[in-house]
Amino acid sequence: MARLEGKVAVVTGGASGIGAATVRRLAEEGAAVVVADLQDEKGEALVAELAKAGLRAAYRHCDVAELSQLEEAVACACSEFGGLDVMHNNAAWSGGGYVADIDPEVWRRSLAVMLDGVFYGCKVAIPAMLERGAGSIVNTSSVDGFYGEMLSSPYTTAKAGVINLTRNVAIEYGRKGIRANAVCPGVVDTPLLDVVLQAGTRTREQIADMHALGRVLEPREIANLVLFLASDESSAITGAAILADGGLTAGTRLTGFPTFGGGSYG
């Protein structure tokens, strides 16, 4: 039997990147999935791709900064597929800059998407999961939820907040059968990486070398972790912030000695 047979999931930011990879993995393992995103063309194309493969999915236009639109996404899961078992709060958008130079509207929009949006996702998912008697909430944080990063204070602030919000959901609803965990990726090969490369000073090769694995991560690798946390295989895990960072944060490498097999960054 598939690992999520009979389960229903909502994935925000599900039309591309980690979200799209997660939609595919959950659907492959038997879940019916609502793809919630602002990218209508990509979202509809993903649903059509899954339908062609005999998998169940639906698309809903969704700005996660708007509570009503997340309510509609969960209502779609309940009306079309019978309920909600898995909520993956994954949508992201962020501006940046030096703290004193950030436009307050950019700050507010960044946190509205990446922190308010996760809160709204949890808020609307929990009642639906209580009706089912159980559920798994998986929130996308980041290695930057633990560390600062130059010119990225809206992003790092939101991702740090996601970790503690996740812990609160876990301790408040664990005895009602709801688990909540955060996944904390390193650098993943998504459209966001292209933005970082355009705005930053490191090359793709230098960023890859910062990871102990010597490469950036693939979206499907993070999706596999989300799948595990969504499934009953992770029944003992809740309130966790799990690093899936290819060893990016395993050490400082301040000594400058080369890694085994070569590779170094400065």
Q: Is residue 264 part of a domain?
A: no
Q: Is residue 261 part of a domain?
A: no
Q: Is residue 256 part of a domain?
A: no
Q: Tens digit of pLDDT for each residue in 204-214?
A: 999 999 999 99
Task: Burial-class residue 58 by CB neighbours within 10 Å (0-12, 13-18, 19+).
Answer: buried
Q: Domain range holding 46?
A: 8-244
Report in angstroms the alpha-carbon separations of 45 from 58, 92, 193.
11, 20, 23
Q: Is residue 42 part of a domain?
A: yes
**CATH, residue 123:** 3.40.50.720
Q: Is residue 169 part of a domain?
A: yes
Q: Is 265 a catalytic residue?
A: no
Two tokens at 7? Answer: 């389960």
pLDDT recorded at residue 262: 65
Please provide the average confidence, as pLDDT, over all residues in the chain: 95
Higher pLDDT pick, 201 / 178: 178
pLDDT band at 199 (very low <50, low <70, confident <90, very high): confident
* Cβ neighbours for 104, distance < 8 A, ≥ 6 positions apart: none
Of 136, 115, 43, nearest to 34 (Cα)? 43
Q: Is residue 26 part of a domain?
A: yes
Q: Is residue 252 part of a domain?
A: no
Q: Is residue 262 part of a domain?
A: no
Enter the pTM of the model.
Answer: 0.95
Q: Is the pLDDT of residue 5 over 90?
A: yes
**One of 59, 120, 155, 173 is an active-site residue; which one?**
155
Please report, as a single letter, which amino acid is at residue 243. Answer: L
Q: Tens digit of pLDDT for each residue in 20-59?
A: 999 999 999 999 999 999 999 999 999 999 999 999 999 9
